[in-house]
Amino acid sequence: MSDRTDKIREVARKWLADGTVEAVVGWEQGTYREKCSPVLVRKPEDADRLLFNDRCTNNLMTYLKRDPVRGMEKVGVVAKGCDIKSLIGLLQESQVEREKVMVLAVTCEGVKKDDGTVPIKCQACDVNTPTFYDEIVGEKVASNPDPEARFKDLEKLDAMTPAERNSFWREELDKCIRCYACRQACPLCICSRCIAEKNQPQWVETSPHPRGNFSWNLVRAYHLAGRCVECEACETACPVNIPLMLLNRAMARTVKGAFDYEAGKDPEVQPPLRTFNLDDDNSFIL
Amino acid sequence: MPHMTLDRTDLPSLAEALAGQGRRLVLPVREGQELFYREGADPAQLDLSSIPKNSIKEFLFPKCEKILEYEYSGNDVIIEDVAPDAKPTVIFCARPCDAASLPVVEPLWNWDYKDKFFNERREQTLVVTYACRTAPDEACFCVSVGLSPSSDQGSDVMLYGVDESTVAVRLVSPKGQEQEEVFAKFKKGEASDEALEGFAKEGDESLAHRKPLDKVKGWLEEHFEDPLWEDKAFRCIGCGTCTFLCPTCHCFDIQDESVFDAGCRLKNWDGCQFSLFTLHTSGHNPRDTQPKRYRQRIYHKYAIYPEKFGKTLCTGCGRCVAYCPVNLSLYDVVATAQERAEKGE
Ligand code: SF4
Ligand code: SF4
Ligand code: SF4
Ligand code: SF4
């Protein structure tokens, strides 16, 4: 791990010194427990703040669509394979210009959550060694041969009757306090003004009552269908512990079944729910 | 004066006895890896191993509450007041930083307008606090804002887990003293004032590494524009977790929801970390970037509120430190301000 830290610093220092990039977004040591924290490094001498370890959980791509990074001519970003999936999503949707980003990829054996457990995305990771980057650091790391293992958790939802599933979600979504941490943490929630914030007319009730919470959480999930790259940032941020990844993975599995498509893989392919082809399968229309 | 003691194993029965008098019962229980204060939880599940993730705020200031009803009738609107949905409540085993948030926010709810919704709930709530023997989490910094792990601010009754099996009781407020009989039924022995002082000392010592923050207000008044804000708050993603988990954050939004010609007005939690919070109808936003919004949160807590109400709008519970998804620690930011003030920077 420390080897990767050294190399990240070295590359970042070089990029900053020779003017390749204006700044580098990476992780630095946090101050609470073992946490790491996002950092924006602008000067070569500050490159030593950067590091990589198994507590670098944040998906830094979310900063590409925010100030001040959004306005920069060219920016470097340190990224794990799963973070790069969201960059691919941003490129597909023309949210980021490829020439403006320098990807400093890092190979990864998996991260740990705050509670010490290993996230499902890491248990079933297929991008431990990234393939899309400008520069890569770290030894090659083998991936799980069965990435669909991540859908295992959905079996408990599948086993429920529709009524049971409805009450399961009612109970979970009742907890929602409408902080929108899920949206803010998501690298692919790209609307500069979310539909939940539009009030002329008000499409989604902003009140955290059961009806409002259902509307919000379903809108969020649907807008990410076929776009969510399963980075788990939303679920990690949710302060009331709603299992948002169950919703997201159910969507991902459906999209995979219907369109044989997985988000975040190929920047040249368009997500199915954003495209229309005359020869699309229409057989489901009565 | 000696204080009665009880067996720790009797705490669930004590909770039930207090609730038995027609009160709704709120207590901390475990859900997965974390604790939450929950209404109606089984007292046998009482879990005192750490500080809950939510604060007690939601039981006095719920996330969504109806404040009036209306109906259109021809050209008129008929407005009906609604009574606060306040029930007698016991919050059992609140942490001192949560209990202390109540006297902090009381002046706000009673400033130019007396908020009957908060006040009636406050009136009907009995706060039984479980003092922290030592700080339960690395994020705790109550001592920095003039409180302590055994502070009794805002509490009606204090419980001190003086050893593995014994809990000492101190009836603090008149409301707490009214409950003497209920507690007396569980009495097993006595503890001296000295024992409680020793307990408090141990708590204070566990936070000896935390700085006093007495110079922060003065520093803030001079440093509205400072590189610190962008350096620290660049990372803030505006998720609102800090404001919603905070026991003292109290901003709300008013929403009217109607079906055809009748509806109600709701008061919902809101937070200063959202871009919409200060967006004017003209399109102008005085806090148009996240560092400005983050700075506002610090100013409100450590400069504006103290100026207006003489109290820091923070009890050092550490939730915004522990749960910020990008580890932007409020303590770090205010401790940096304190340090710079000490150095005269
Ligand atoms: S999903 Fe893969 S790349 Fe991402 S943190 Fe886990 S192991 Fe690393
Ligand atoms: S993060 Fe959780 S509580 Fe907040 S809006 Fe999203 S689902 Fe609701
Ligand atoms: S500002 Fe942070 S530490 Fe202070 S009371 Fe609020 S959540 Fe707790
Ligand atoms: S919890 Fe952290 S990221 Fe979220 S609004 Fe607060 S400071 Fe910003």
Number of Cβ within 10 Å of residue B119's Cβ equals: 16
Calculate how far, in angstroms, residue A130's C-alpha sits from the geometric centre of ligand 2: 30
Cβ of B297 less than 6 Å from ligand 3: no
Q: Which has the higher per-residue pLDDT, B130 or B276? A: B130
Q: Of B58, B42, B293, which Cα lies nearest the Cα of A176?
A: B58
Q: Which of B38, B141, B235, B255 to mutate to test the interface with A (most CBs of A within 10 A)?
A: B235
- The reply to whether residue B239 touches residue A177, judged by beta carbons under 8 angstroms, is no
- The reply to whether residue A180 touches residue B245, judged by beta carbons under 8 angstroms, is no
Calculate how far, in angstroms, residue A77's C-alpha sits from the geometric centre of ligand 1: 16
Separation of alpha carbons A106 and A88, rounded Å: 16
**Block residue for tokens 């946490």:** A35
Separation of alpha carbons A17 and A10, rounded Å: 10
- Domain edges within chain B: 3-206, 216-342
Cβ of B236 less than 6 Å from ligand 4: yes
Element (H, E) at A101: strand A101-106
pLDDT in tens, B15-64: 999 999 899 999 999 998 899 999 999 999 999 999 999 999 999 999 99
Atom from ligand 2 closest to the CA of residue A175: 3
Nearest-CA distance A100 → chain B (Å): 19
Q: Is the pLDDT of residue B275 over 90?
A: no
SS3 state at B123:
helix
| Among candidates A39, A40, A237 on the partner chain, residue whose Cβ is nearest the Cβ of B239 | A237
Cα separation of the two ends of chain A = 56
| Among candidates A30, A62, A205 on the partner chain, residue whose Cβ is nearest the Cβ of B257 | A205
Q: Of B171, B145, B147, which Cα lies nearest the Cα of B158?
A: B171
pLDDT averaged per 10 residues in sequence order, chain A, 286 residues: 90 98 97 95 97 96 92 96 97 94 97 93 96 96 90 95 96 96 95 87 91 95 94 96 96 92 91 83 74
- The reply to whether residue A239 touches residue B244, judged by beta carbons under 8 angstroms, is yes
Element (H, E) at A77: strand A75-79
Q: Is the pLDDT of residue B193 over 80?
A: yes
pLDDT value, residue B276: 86
**DSSP for B233-283?**
HTT-----HHHHH-SS---EEEEEEEETTEEEEEEEE--TTSGGGG--TTS
Mutate which of A172, A175, A182 for ligand 2 pocket (most atoms within 8 A of beta carbon): A182
pLDDT value, residue A203: 87
Give the pLDDT band (50/70/90) at residue B1.
confident
pLDDT value, residue A1: 52
Cβ of A39 less than 6 Å from ligand 1: no
| Among candidates B32, B241, B274 on the partner chain, residue whose Cβ is nearest the Cβ of A239 | B241
Q: Of A87, A153, A143, which Cα lies nearest the Cα of A120?
A: A153
Tell me the chain A residues in contact with residue B234 when contact means C-beta distances shorter than 8 Å. Answer: 38-40, 68
> A135 and A20 in contact (C-beta within 8 Å)?
no
- The reply to whether residue B327 touches residue A32, judged by beta carbons under 8 angstroms, is yes
Q: Is the dihedral of CA B310, B290, B60, B118 positive or negative?
A: positive
Tell me the chain B residues in contact with residue A58 when contact means C-beta distances shorter than 8 Å. Answer: 325-326
**What tokens does B312 get?**
């820091």
Calculate how far, in angstroms, residue B193's C-alpha sits from the geometric centre of ligand 1: 55
What is the interface pTM, i.e. ipTM, of the complex? 0.93
Tell me the chain A residues in contact with residue B238 when contact means C-beta distances shorter than 8 Å. Answer: 184
Calculate how far, in angstroms, residue A144's C-alpha sits from the geometric centre of ligand 3: 41
Q: Which of B38, B54, B63, B287 to mutate to test the interface with A (most CBs of A within 10 A)?
A: B63
- The reply to whether residue B244 touches residue A177, judged by beta carbons under 8 angstroms, is yes
- The reply to whether residue B327 touches residue A115, judged by beta carbons under 8 angstroms, is no
| Among candidates A32, A179, A197 on the partner chain, residue whose Cβ is nearest the Cβ of B329 | A32
**What tokens does A57 get?**
């959980």
Mean pLDDT of the B287-316 span:
96
Calculate how far, in angstroms, residue B149's C-alpha sits from the geometric centre of ligand 3: 15
pLDDT value, residue A198: 86
Cβ of A242 less than 6 Å from ligand 2: yes
Q: In this complex, is the C-beta atom of A211 within 8 Å of any C-beta atom belonging to chain B?
A: no
- The reply to whether residue A239 touches residue B245, judged by beta carbons under 8 angstroms, is yes
Cβ of A111 less than 6 Å from ligand 1: yes
Calculate how far, in angstroms, residue A267's C-alpha sits from the geometric centre of ligand 4: 31
